[in-house]
Amino acid sequence: MERALDEARRAAASGEIPVGAVLLGPSGEVLGVGHNTREAVPDPTAHAEILALRAAARALGDRILSGCTLVVTLEPCVMCAGAILAARVPRVVFGAWDEKAGAAGSVYDLLRDGRLPHPVTEVVAGVRAEECAALLEAFFAERR
């Protein structure tokens, strides 16, 4: 989670919503990292999770990321949950809950929806949640 927090801090430093993600391979090696770049690109799909998934797929030369773990500072949204499912990532670890748009158990639970093909087998929530939430709270407090 520390690496994902570093990515979130990079996002905040560049004026982006501070969300960071790291995609780990089966042996724990870092395959991809990302932080929000929606404003800089501009691209509505440039979420941290999407960028980490893309980098990992390039690194492996495969769109299927079975055996991998995605670590992200904020609960994935519906778009990111769809990408996680499409990549067949079996394990997701996240920090802060997203009570407005979360899709891993708060508003929706797409990641574990058994009606969808290849649901995530393990979701670990709340890892360093206070730190992850504090970054987001500070970012939005500055903008008010």
**Of the listed 49, 99, 130, 142, which one is catalytic?**
49
> Which strands, in side-by-side order, build the sheet including 20-24?
30-35, 20-24, 69-74, 91-96, 122-124
d(C-alpha 143, C-alpha 125), whole Å:
27
Determine whether 16 is an active site residue: no
Binding-site sequence positions: 47, 77, 80
Binding-site sequence positions for Zn(2+): 47, 77, 80
CA dihedral 58, 4, 26, 31 (to 10 degrees): 20
| Catalytic positions | 49
